[in-house]
Structure 1
Amino acid sequence: MNMALLPRQAWAVAAAEARAAIERAMRKGLSPLKAVPPQRLSTWAAKNFYLSAESSQGQQDWVAYPFQIGIMDAFSNDAIEEVNVPKSARVGYTKMLLAFMAYNAHHRRRNQAIWQPTDDDRDSFVKTELEPMLRDVECMASVFVGASVKSKENTLHLKRFLGSVLHTLGGKAAKNYRRITVAAALLDEIDGFDQRVEKSADPITLAGKRLEGAAYPKLIVGSTPRIKGMSHVERRANVAEAYMRYQVPCVHCGLDHPLTWGGKDVRHGFKWNAGDPDSAHHVCPHCHGSITQADYLRIWDQGSWVDDRGGFRYDHHTAQWLSLVSGMPVKPPRHVAFHVWTAYSPQTTWAKIARECIEAAASLKAGDDGAMQGFVNETRGETYELDFESTESSVLEQRAKAEPHPWPLRTVPQCAVHVVTGVDTQKDRWELVSWGVGRGEELWAVDYQVVYGNPADLREWDDKLKPALERQFQHHSGMPMHADAVAIDTGGNFTHQCYQFISRNAKAHPRWYAIKGESEYGKPIKSRSKLVDIKANGRIQKRGVRLWFVGTDTAKDLLHGRLSVTEPGEGCIHFTPALPSEFYAQLTAEKRIPVRTPKGMTTRWDCPVGKRNEVLDCTVYALFCIQMLEVHKYTEALWRRLSAALEPDLFSQVPEAPSSAPEADAEEAEPIAAAGGNARDRRRTLAPAAPGGLASTEWMSRL
């Protein structure tokens, strides 16, 4: 061997190795700039997606059902901005969402967020669905390098990938819809969300705002529908440009048709022989020929998604959107809905579906509609129409028109001795409702105001709200009155402005209360209270104002019951024709509906999206004011003196009440002292006409 060549050969080998290392580094460094060929989600999932053991019946590669392909392709089609999926259980929707999240992280590198109804739902989803998927889908290792490491980039609410992030959030708090910017917003089981998130807006609107500015925004809203008129997914699907159902060709006539429930009043749809669920079959709406589930599974791959409204067809074999009229390719709809229910899925049998219906019908006949609601929601994928506990606004408006002694607004009828006001704070206004209060908590609506202003500006609380609260009412007798108690809602975005306003006016108006609603079942109307800090001018005033909590559902139950009282007297609520129709619509906007909670089924009052309920909220706060005045403790003697104090002042001078109270006055001491102040002083101010002609509310403010 020529030893002289060894150094040169060694140099050549080293140079080759260095060149290879440089090439690898350049390829890796330039890889983010590589243009990846576009790929549909269904194609990507067929190659990469995997079903994990923790969340699937079997651990295996993903094989899409034919009806799933069109939904997945709509998820990944950049021309489609919103996809709605009203669905039953067990049709693979969650798996399609998981595949889309993995696809966005691996294939498209796009920021995304998924919201679940609650934080607990989010935690369960991450632990049982998302994390097993990130572990088992092999290609995710290239973009999620910290899968096995707990860090601030791998938490229950954030997963950071190479080139993108995934936010996982609960849907109850308004803060969970702020300060994130994404290209894809996913809302899972949307009908489990509140109608409005902390009184701000519905969750779909809030999530959609996170997409503004995205080059290819994508909003996906899916759920098993729940209650008719209260369903988020139904509301969105009803305004979609295309409402798609999966149609299969009839084995008898060859015409396409969807699988539908049908019902006993039509010849087509899902049928079975009486008492024999095993005979379940589907009847074609065209030729009335029947197919079994086995027939359906032989032809289901020949189906396609067809628009109920006659505009579109999606052929998953060619991946084309077609015009139903011309059959030619067309641009996809911007907003599309897909309805799919259990009969399409091979995970259950048609005989089992029929059996579920028979059992639910038997329970309904026995007076329990729970099983039927579950069948309609979970199996048929449709909303259920409940017999709501509610009050009709038209009934109350007609009652007002029939009022024998109507009164103008800001005039207090003769039998009322107090005025209480509830205030609801909105982003651009305050809404005020005032009620006159008489014996037995008989109520008269005496005022409804909308005060426009900016609640973020404390000056406008003083310049606009305060004059409205100090506005004078006139009693039937001619005596002037003011609100004896005021409750102002601190919810929303203006909590500390309200705190400051209450604190600054505490001396002049000790019965102006800062309140916050508690919807937990069974809470008293006048619930707990606590001292809270006030933030003002960059400083914190410790324990600066007392915050009262109001049992809102309890108050609404009480109000709902009293609205049905039509005979004047205890508990009756009176209305004047001077009130606008909007007043009654808002007062009756909410309905009591059943909801699932961690403790089981319960009911709560809820307001459908699109309706306003400020009058109802204000009235609830007014009921709290009545509790604070402790009207329920008033004696007959005290009621007589309160009424007498509102009689016209016939004399310019009124002798001071004697220091020794008569026997009847002794009955008054306890409720007066309970309301606050000195009972003896209170009796003096309750004389038939207060010294100097003081209005009843002026002596009330001295308590």
Structure 2
Amino acid sequence: MLDDAAAWCWDAYRRQAAPPPLLTVSEWADTYRRLTSKSAAEPGPWRTDRTPYLRAIMDALSPQAPWQRVVFVKGAQLGGTEAGNNFLAYLIHWHPGPIMAVQPTVEGAKRWSRQRLDDLVEAPPLAGLVKDPRSRDSGNTTLLKEFPGGVLVVTGGNSAVGLRSMPVRFLFLDEVDAYPIDADGEGDPIDLAVQRTATFGHRRKVFLVSTPTIEGHSRIERAYQESDQRRFWVPCPHCGEFQVLTWDQMRWTEEAPETAFYECAHNGCVIVNADKATMLPRGEWRAEADGDGETAGFHISSLYSPVGWLSWADLARQHEKAKDSPARMQVFVNTKLGETWRDQGEAPAWEHLWERCGGYTAGEVPEEVALLTAGADVQPDRIEVEVVGWGEGFRSWSISYHVLDGSPEGEAVWQALDQVVRHTWRRQGGGDALTVQRIAVDSGFLTPAVYRWVGRTGQKLAMAIKGRANMMTALGTATRTEVTGAGRRARTRGVRVWTVGVDLLKGELYGRLRLTRGDDGRVPPGYCHFPEGYEAEYFKQLTAEELVTGTNRKGYETREWRKTRPRNEALDCRVYATAALLALGAARWGPTEWEARRRANAGGLPLSAPMPAPHVTAGNDETAPGGSAADTPSAHGVRGPSPRPASRPAVIRSSWLG
């Protein structure tokens, strides 16, 4: 018995004293890693040959590799998460030391630990190295894993306390573009975390992983630009020429994404998705820059996703769904192509929009319109509202714009808003009658009055909204159905208040306003139509903001929409009308649903009183190019005054109501 105990002690001593074999991370993974059905679609032994582009990335993370930082810019479904897991498992099993893993938030870190990390440490070969969490003083909690020779701390990018908890040699920073700008007022979370590695000098390893976000504001983009900027080159299976797979070379038959193939950039060879099985193993990483000498950078898109995972047909289908919307296209570019999105923050030229007015008159509903929504902006002395028609592909038609004079603290202006919302609109040439399906009203000013009107009108028709300027970043990887938030209950009259990402919708609108007709006269999805009779002021207001990059008092970059002129109500009203459309679920509609709504006779809600004639006043001192002040109508109205109703305390001006 004593001899056995001595032999066990000697064997344990040799394991601790002897240096580990010089296995790279990929060699370790191929030897030891087992994927479980709990966390992997393909359980069983890990095979780097399945994702050969990950070999160089994992090996750059090996302690014997010369790189202090490894940057991985990626698309979705490429195995990047498991590469990070292999790095952590390798360290715990084969090269222990102090490790930190950082997720965007503490809550996200807890979720990642329970769903990913626990599965990793409970499976061979790590099983038993981290003690059972149920044992007393086990050193195994959600955010802390102790093991022989080291410890793994898990935290969030929003926790300064967690980021400066201890010195670490190995640092895993996951989805860094989702980190907050500032961690508890103490600075950039990446800087705080990297400072924890300073003690270990050139022996440290920092692994940064993320899909990118906005050009010029993406952390992973900046880190990649400091690296040697490697891209993965693969040979054409027909002509053998090496190339980087880019979206520009994807081809498919219109409206048939299942026909997607890749056209060789050199000789036009037709490459099909199944060819990746032979192309990827022969691929090689090539550096395109010298870098800082300390950072190895890797960039790869979802075009390289292995056969059986994300196919080129899948990508073509997702592109088809995204092409109608800049917001969805940003998600596609970020998460599938692994590229930054260039913000369309500069205002479109209002003159070009004004010049293309026509095809219908204000107050008419063109045949292509499927439904109407409206957006209302509450001001101290008036309410402004736009009625917008929508068709398939989020094409839009401004139906009418109204300025309702009167204090929102009184009832008269709200009664005038009732008239607009409940008006029956006729299609061009007669036929179906339509009413507004939903109106979004900004509740940021005179909130109780807005709640009262929404509650009285009914929340199936009216919705109170609150704009959130910072939802552009928060929704960087969200779908368009989330633009209007989940809603919350206000304390006044139980009215539901919808949180609207106004920054995101402004960027999307500006992208649509830039769209032009094709050479054949066809209009693309998202195209914005305007009627005869609108004046210059409407378009100046519609383009009255631009996205400005600046710095806050702590020196960090900020992005915000700023006015370029005092009046911007037309822009706000259009954004709110779009939010009303999304709240109806339009992001999920296909062509069949749009056509069904277009054909449906929406009928007309009964009016409490006949619609008054519009009153046009000279409410603007700006003249249109080529006109004079004498013949310039009010802010957005048709030319020529109409008689003002004698007994109308709230004036409807600057509009056409029919």
TM-score, structure 1 as length reference: 0.50
Cα deviation, residue 175, structure 1: 1.6
2:93 aligned with 1:131: no
Question: CA–CA distance in 2 between the matches of 1:195 and 1:236?
Answer: 15
What is the match of residue 417 of structure 1? none
What is the match of residue 356 of structure 1? 318
Deviations 1:168-220 (A, max 9, x none): 00111222211311111111111111123234322221111010121511111
Deviations 1:33-88 (A, max 9, x none): 11111110001001111222222224322122111111111121531111111111
Cα deviation, residue 160, structure 1: 0.3
Matched residue of 1:222: which SS?
strand
Matched residue of 1:234: which SS?
helix
Matched to 1:356, the amino acid is Q
Matched to 2:74, the amino acid is K
**1 or 2, which has the higher helix percentage?**
1
Q: Which of residues 47, 50, 58 in structure 1 aligns to 2:31?
A: 47
Cα deviation, residue 141, structure 1: 2.6
Deviations 1:7-32 (A, max 9, x none): xxxxxxxxxx5334322222223431
Cα deviation, residue 593, structure 1: 4.9
Matched residue of 1:139: which SS?
coil
TM-score, structure 2 as length reference: 0.53
Question: CA–CA distance in 2 between the matches of 1:204 and 1:230?
Answer: 14
Q: Which of residues 35, 48, 71 in structure 1 aligns to 2:19?
A: 35
Q: Which of residues 230, 236, 253 in structure 2 aligns to 1:273?
A: 253
Cα deviation, residue 610, structure 1: 10
Cα deviation, residue 370, structure 1: 2.7
User: Does the 8 Å contact 1:260/1:270 carry over to 2?
Assistant: yes
What is the match of residue 247 of structure 1? 233
User: Does the 8 Å contact 1:595/1:602 carry over to 2?
Assistant: no
User: Does the 8 Å contact 2:166/2:196 carry over to 1?
Assistant: yes
User: Does the 8 Å contact 2:132/2:138 carry over to 1?
Assistant: no
The verdict on how the C-alpha distance between 1:18 and 1:302 changes in structure 2, with shifts beyond 3 A counting, is same
Matched to 1:287, the amino acid is N
5 Å-filtered alignment, 1:162-181, equals 162-181=148-167
User: Identity over aligned residues, as a percent?
Assistant: 27
5 Å-filtered alignment, 1:507-526, equals none
5 Å-filtered alignment, 1:104-503, equals 104-136=91-123, 138-146=124-132, 149=135, 151=137, 153-214=139-200, 216-240=203-227, 242-262=228-248, 269-309=249-289, 333-346=293-306, 347-361=309-323, 363-364=324-325, 369-388=326-345
Matched to 2:237, the amino acid is V
User: Does the 8 Å contact 1:341/1:381 carry over to 2?
Assistant: yes
Question: Can you give the 5+ residue segments of structure 2 that lack an aligned partner in the other structure?
Answer: 348-379, 381-441, 446-465, 487-498, 505-546, 557-658
User: Does the 8 Å contact 1:389/1:592 carry over to 2?
Assistant: no
5 Å-filtered alignment, 1:655-670, equals none
Question: CA–CA distance in 1 between the matches of 2:251 and 2:9?
Answer: 65
Deviations 1:111-153 (A, max 9, x none): 11011111111111011100011112x1213522335647461
User: Does the 8 Å contact 1:281/1:350 carry over to 2?
Assistant: yes
2:551 aligned with 1:612: yes
Matched residue of 1:180: which SS?
coil
| Number of aligned residues | 381
Matched to 1:230, the amino acid is H
Deviations 1:326-362 (A, max 9, x none): xxxxxx952021112211112111111111111211x
Question: Can you give the 5+ residue segments of structure 1 that lack an aligned partner in the other structure?
Answer: 1-16, 263-268, 313-331, 391-439, 441-520, 525-553, 558-589, 618-703
Question: CA–CA distance in 1 between the matches of 2:22 and 2:549?
Answer: 39
2:25 aligned with 1:68: no
Question: CA–CA distance in 2 between the matches of 1:167 and 1:609?
Answer: 38
Cα deviation, residue 594, structure 1: 5.3
The verdict on how the C-alpha distance between 1:334 and 1:213 changes in structure 2, with shifts beyond 3 A counting, is same
- Larger RCO (CA within 8 A; separation ≥ 6): 2
User: Does the 8 Å contact 2:133/2:139 carry over to 1?
Assistant: no
**Rg: which structure is higher?**
1
The verdict on how the C-alpha distance between 1:609 and 1:50 changes in structure 2, with shifts beyond 3 A counting, is farther
CA RMSD of aligned residues (A): 3.6
Question: CA–CA distance in 1 between the matches of 2:312 and 2:467?
Answer: 46
Question: CA–CA distance in 2 between the matches of 1:134 and 1:523?
Answer: 50
Matched residue of 2:475: which SS?
strand
Deviations 1:379-424 (A, max 9, x none): 111122233499xxxxxxxxxxxxxxxxxxxxxxxxxxxxxxxxxx
Question: CA–CA distance in 1 between the matches of 2:111 and 2:471?
Answer: 30
Deviations 1:457-488 (A, max 9, x none): xxxxxxxxxxxxxxxxxxxxxxxxxxxxxxxx
Matched to 2:191, the amino acid is T
